[in-house]
């Protein structure tokens, strides 16, 4: 189990991580989301031992994780950390980069392991290409293979798919997380992409201004967000005063586009714009003083009527 207890860190007078506490079970996949500057990347560096915390403690299976003040070479040997700069050796081949930390005493086993990992990230055909000749997305895939080479107990990934083409990203991310689940590797990763966090996480941690403000399942985060900030991090959201629906409690509703259903009766709205999404349309509509986004199976023009799922 990974345990983080009241962890704080600052750069000079700027507090970046504020008394963060949480735990992660072995084999769990945890995503960390938040606006830029919320402390996500710094939190990963603290967990890996690249930074010394101002206060608080970290433990993996009861072993304390310490920073560079206590280690000649920062970082913990049972963890692997993938930063956003990839840290590849530019003038050696892809295969050599992946096998960088593997023993040369067992060359056949090393070659098999490298091939296995290159297949995982779909880079087999580039095995003999120098890293400097790769695109940014290809470098990121090689870096992913490299951090898995020694099969760490804990894998820390900072925006691990940010440079990979969208048509490959979903497939490679599925391969990676399925592999980690099969091997029982504990994964923490940061992301600005809602689909990644929702699809692959057992739980999601939400950071805001250095504070951990929520830790919950993807279903809870997406369907029952506690604040507008949390809701907007995980996809399109409509923020609607309940007064529009005849209530006087002063509250607002956080509604996803799929929770607003076009019907033959109900509340009336004016279609402002329609966006084709491939499997349907996203309508922007004017309702009272708000602009809402609504999912639709077909295109609409003019006025529509809608109902809200589970509105009581």
Q: Is the pTM of this model over 0.85?
A: yes
DSSP category for residue 197: H
- Which domains does the chain show, CATH number per domain? 2-231 (3.40.50.300), 236-308 (2.40.50.140)
Could you tell me the pLDDT band of residue 187, with boundaries at 50, 70 and 90?
A: very high
Q: How confident is the model at residue 47 (pLDDT cuts 50, 70, 90)?
A: very high
Number of Cβ within 10 Å of residue 171's Cβ equals 11
**pLDDT at residue 246 tops 80:** no
- From residue 181, alpha-carbon distances to 27, 86, 113, 170 in Å are 6, 23, 18, 16
Q: Is the pLDDT of residue 13 over 90?
A: no
Query: What phi and psi values does residue 5 have, to the nearest 5 degrees?
Result: -125, 110
How far apart CA 281 and CA 182 sit, in angstroms, is 37
Residue 281, judged by CB atoms within 10 A of its CB (0-12, 13-18, 19+), counts as middle
| pLDDT tens figures, 139-173 | 999 999 999 998 999 999 999 998 988 888 989 99
Is there a contact between 272 and 303 (Cβ–Cβ < 8 Å)?
A: no
Segment 271-277 shows an average pLDDT of 94
Cβ-Cβ contacts under 8 Å for 197 (sequence gap 6 or more): 31, 33, 191, 204, 218, 221, 234
User: What is the pLDDT confidence band of residue 311, given thresholds at 50, 70 and 90?
Assistant: low
User: Given this model, what pLDDT does residue 103 score?
Assistant: 80
Q: What are phi and psi of 80, to 5 degrees?
A: -130, 140
């Amino acid at each position: 189990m990974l345990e983080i207890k009241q962890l704080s860190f600052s750069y000079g007078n700027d507090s970046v991580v504020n008394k963060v506490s949480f735990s992660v079970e072995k084999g769990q996949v945890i995503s960390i989301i938040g606006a830029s500057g919320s402390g996500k990347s710094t939190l990963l560096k603290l967990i890996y031992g690249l930074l010394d915390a101002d206060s608080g403690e970290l433990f993996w299976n009861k072993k304390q994780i310490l920073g560079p003040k206590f280690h000649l070479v920062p970082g913990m040997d049972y963890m692997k950390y993938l930063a956003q700069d990839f840290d590849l050796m530019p003038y050696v081949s892809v295969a050599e980069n992946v096998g960088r930390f593997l023993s040369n005493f067992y060359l056949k086993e090393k070659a098999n392991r490298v091939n296995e990992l290159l297949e995982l990230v779909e880079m087999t055909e580039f095995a003999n290409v120098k890293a400097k000749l790769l695109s940014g997305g290809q470098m990121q895939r090689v870096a992913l293979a490299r951090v898995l080479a020694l099969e760490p107990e804990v894998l820390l990934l900072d925006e691990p798919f940010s440079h990979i083409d969208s048509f490959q990203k979903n497939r490679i991310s599925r391969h990676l997380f399925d592999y980690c689940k099969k091997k029982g590797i504990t994964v923490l990763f940061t992301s600005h992409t809602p689909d990644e966090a929702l699809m692959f996480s057992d739980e999601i941690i939400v950071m805001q201004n250095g504070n951990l403000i929520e830790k919950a399942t993807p279903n809870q985060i997406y369907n029952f967000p506690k604040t507008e900030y949390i809701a907007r991090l995980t996809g399109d959201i409509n923020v609607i005063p309940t007064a529009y629906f005849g209530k006087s409690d002063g509250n607002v509703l956080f509604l996803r586009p799929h929770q607003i259903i076009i019907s033959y009766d109900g509340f009336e709205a004016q279609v402002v714009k329609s966006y084709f999404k491939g499997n349907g349309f996203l309508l922007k509509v004017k309702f009272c003083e708000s602009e809402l986004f609504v999912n639709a199976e077909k295109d609409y023009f003019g006025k529509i009527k809608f109902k809200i799922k589970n509105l009581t």
